[in-house]
Amino acid sequence: MQRRMLLIRGFEERVAALYRDGEVPGFVHLSTGQEASAVGACWPLRPTDVITSTHRGHGHCLAKGLAPLGMFAELMGKDRGTNRGRGGSMHIADPSIGIFGANGIVAAGLPIAVGASVASQLRADGGVAVAFFGDGAVAQGAFHEAVNLAAVWQLPVVFWCENNGYAEFSPIAAQHAAPLERRASAYGIDYVAVDGNDVSAAAAVMTDLTTAVRGGRGPVMVEATTYRWHGHYEGDPERYRAPAELAQWKERDPVVLNAGRLDAAGYSREEMESLERSVARELDEAVEAARRLAEPDASSIHDFVVRPRPARPEPPEPAGDAPTFRTMDAIHSAIEEELASDDRVFVAGIDVADGGNVFGLLRGLKERFGDRVRDTPISETAIMGLGVGAAMAGMRPVVELMYLDFVGVCLDQLLNQAAKLPFMTGGAAEMALTVRTQFGAGRSSGSQHSQSLEALLAHIPGLTVVMPSTPADTYGLLRAAIQDPNPVVFIENRLLYGMKGPQPPAGHIIPIGKAAVVRAGTDVTVVSVSRMVHEALAAAEAAAAEGISVEVIDLRTVAPLDVPSILESVHKTGRLLIAHEAVVPFGIGAEIAAAVAREAFWDLDAPIERVGALPLPPPYAPVLEGAWLPDRDDITAALRRLAAV
């Protein structure tokens, strides 16, 4: 324990000097003074147990077993750093030894730890997850959602609060109206207080707790009282606390306290000095070795954003005599096939189990697959976070966001976690996560249940966004999404749930990122997606009666965008119309138009046109919604304009 604390203390001291001298770029948040909490909490953990950490995470990573050399190299931005120079101080991670990442977003690690504990619970492997967080994180909604979900599901997770008295610059008294003990009681979970500066006490508490949690005790809340010696960040002027307060806490230096315990146990001063010299030598050698390492090559900048996905041929169209099925049947069948064929797949979301989801799409799956189909509380951040953590733990979660409009409630777990963790870990983090959601205007669902927000998600590097338009494509693309090694947001249009079409064979899987020409033509290209594909096809039929030959492309995947297929069509027709249900400004049509204007400018015989919703929230009254929402008549009028040029 003393060696580990000396390692953390010496590491942080050297990082402070390296930062001061300009060898460490970016933000640095040191854990000096909190060594005993990290070492004690990680003392009984197995390599396969998982921790999630905070922006002040160096100590946690070292206590869990990460080598100093890789960490120094990472902080210096070197290619052989722990995360290939992609993470830096706030994002160090090594999933191979259960470190699922320090995190620059306050409280974001708690739902991820919950996800890792779900994986352990499903596999019954006796694993434990530990979520480190500071007292300031208790004010975050992610804290509430994660703890509540863990309590409801009785998950093997320890929530370890390092209460160092300050949330950034604010004292704890200004942050919380109720102590953590009362909060734990409200969730129905046990609470344990420990002296966070006493490594033996912390280790003893954690040893007992991990044994109990592995045995099915359920989650527990620990509050370790400690103190950070440095400011919130290096360079913090620290006007919010008195020097006397820091001096008082330094009298309870965890390293010195434990050295006294060792002295009382009979260890000689020579032995202690030898230990200190050994640790100092290891750290000094690590710093020098890290300095000699190369920086990443600029040509590698695109690495680790998206994992290579399996190459798949385009399957044949379903046979003409194939039985018909509905889009809702396609969703059920695809998920059922993946649950049956891969034990790593599980489904979680609001009312997806007993109710079969709000539209009844998943009815019967709970009865067949039991605990692998789970109802969650109404906690979108926890749902997305459990998907992230479970995916990092090697599972293939399929989590449901009931309405696409609700993405704002949980966007951090998609924007800053699912999409970025593979990149920020230098490709080490697995993220085979599928997020199913739905949208669809035209039924007076109002402004908060009707939005087509695919452009918002497509703008996030690392996310794949899929929007099928037919039952067969829904089946083939959903299976491909669940099997994909990348985080995929699968967006269904609820107005298509009852649509019928030919049922493909069970092995029907469609390649992600490949558009389809669903109607050939020679005069105008129409690019569309989801339900608007059918409006485009109807408009193309109307235009054909007027002698206008229209080629219709169904994108199927919004990100990545199949630009080559669009360019090939525009090269043939010379005219382009983009139709989508989202509002026109800043929609995916803008990106398509920009790509075509750049790559196929000399092929164009007319200006590019876009058809979409008006730039205002979806109205409720049917007459207003009808005026707002684009349809086949709008597309037909645009086709006439283009053909006339």
Instruction: Give the Cα separation of 38 and 66 in Å (integer).
Output: 13
Instruction: Give the Cα separation of 250 and 261 in Å (integer).
Output: 17
Instruction: Give the Cα separation of 585 and 67 in Å (integer).
Output: 49
Count of residues for the chain? 645
Give the H or E element holding residue 356. none
Q: Report helix, strand or coil for 597.
A: helix
User: Rounded to 10 degrees, what is the CA torsion of 91, 94, 98, 100?
Assistant: 30
Amino acid at 526: V
Distances in Å between the Cα of 41 and the Cα atoms of 3, 57, 138, 199, 360 are 15, 13, 19, 9, 44
Tokens of 513: 């990122």
Omega before residue 560 within 30° of 0, cis: yes
Q: Please report the sign of the dihedral spanned by the C-alpha atoms of residue 30, residue 35, residue 41, residue 42.
A: positive
Candidate list 29, 230, 449, 580, residue with the active-site label: 449
Tokens of 183: 């909060």
* Buried b or exposed e, range 284-323, using 16+ CB within 10 angstroms: eebbeebeebeebeeeeeeebebeebeeeeeeeebeeeee
Tokens of 342: 């891969």
Give me the residue label for tokens 């070197």. Answer: 78
Instruction: Give the Cα separation of 334 and 349 in Å (integer).
Output: 17
Instruction: Give the Cα separation of 93 and 61 in Å (integer).
Output: 8
Residue 449 annotated among the catalytic residues of the structure: yes
**Per-residue DSSP letter, 94:** B
Are 581 and 610 spatial neighbours (Cβ–Cβ below 8 Å)? no
Query: Which residues are identified as catalytic?
Result: 449
